[in-house]
Amino acid sequence: MKIGKNKILALSLALLITLPMAAMSLPKVNADDSELNVEVGPVEPVKEGLWYKFETPLITLIFPAMGTKPMFLWWYTNDNTTIYVVKFKGVIEYLILDKLYYRKRFHADNETINSILWSNYIEPKLRFRYGYGNWRYNWAVNQFLGLLLGLHRAFLPFSACNWTLTPPEPVVDSESSYWSFSFTLTKVYGHPGLEFAENNIEIRCRFYNTTTTEVPDEDNPDYNYTVAAGQLKFDFVVHKWEWNIDKINRFLSDNGIEIPVNRTGLALWVNMASIKIENLTCAQNEVQYEAQHRVEAEEIERNSEMQNAMIGGEYYAVNQNETSQDEKPVQATLQLTERFRERIRAYFACGVGNIPV
């Protein structure tokens, strides 16, 4: 999912699931369906070793209780044979060129900026403006090379960070009842130049006891959505991101240069997986390993049995690792408005039914 530069960097999505009343039939479910307008009753979170745990008659949800990257695992309380997983992997700053969506080959790092922006746009204009070999040209070249060395990496992996969990607290008002908790990125390890992200990235979570209608923007009450009892909603919030492209644009301005490529975006990387209950230990191992070493572990992905996802009403095969290839954009993501007024529903495609995220 994409976050545009100079926009409010907050994104709200219904993340987890609400079971239908006849849970074993596993039909497609929707937070807006009338049969889901039920209460799950008061739910007390329990801390069990590595995890916090919510258990309702419908679903059981666990998430790490220590300072590792956020992930969420849940299953049907009356059928725990399959565990569904959502993991937050990191954020990626990327250049917006001929396409509005994220593409791996356009990461906004020094290598990409040098090979694309410098070679195709900036250097030819400097040569035209100052003349090749002129002292002013040489000075600008050296200034740009020094600028490249000061750019931060495009990818900030959340496994390389310490996350502080604000434990669940109950919130009850006349309209809703839910548990509120949050993950805050408080320390970045081994990624110089990205320390500005410390205390500026949050994942705010609500686990609902009652079906609730959310109105994100009070000035636009017609835009609202329903989160059912037993669902988890999260807000992904970024403050004060320091964009590499801003440093490039200052250089261009100082040298009186305009180029058509001066936009950037921030992509949030989220993984979905499904594992068998007997492989739950792989999630425990992953949490412990990342807490100790601050590097990515993918035991869950290696054990995942997920084959398909349904996003925006269309099926997508996810049984092969294609992250090294150029991205195939999900059509639903191309229809998002700049203010995120469109919502995308993503489901684990399970054949007889689809499990929503």
Residue 183: helix, strand or coil by DSSP?
strand
Condensed to tens digits (0 to 9), the pLDDT of residues 172-196 reads: 888 888 889 999 999 999 999 999 9
Provide DSSP, 208-256: ESS-EEE-S-TT-TT--EEE-TT-EEEEEEE-S---HHHHHHHHHHHTT
What is the pLDDT at residue 195?
A: 96
Question: Does residue 24 carry a pLDDT above 50?
Answer: no
Write down the mean pLDDT value for the chain: 76
Q: How far apart are CA 350 and CA 234, in angstroms?
A: 24
How many other C-beta atoms lie within 10 A of the C-beta of residue 357?
Answer: 22
Let me know: does 299 contact 157? Beta carbons within 8 Å.
no
Most confident of 135-144, 253-262, 270-279, 299-308: 135-144
Judge residue 273's burial from the number of C-beta atoms within 10 Å of its C-beta, 0-12 exposed, 13-18 middle, 19 or more buried: buried
pTM for the whole structure: 0.80
CA 41 to chain centre: 30
Q: How far is CA 79 from CA 17, 187, 311, in A?
A: 14, 38, 25
Q: How far apart are CA 179 and CA 158, in angstroms?
A: 24
Residue among 116, 86, 104 nearest 245 (CA): 116
What is the pLDDT at residue 16?
A: 38
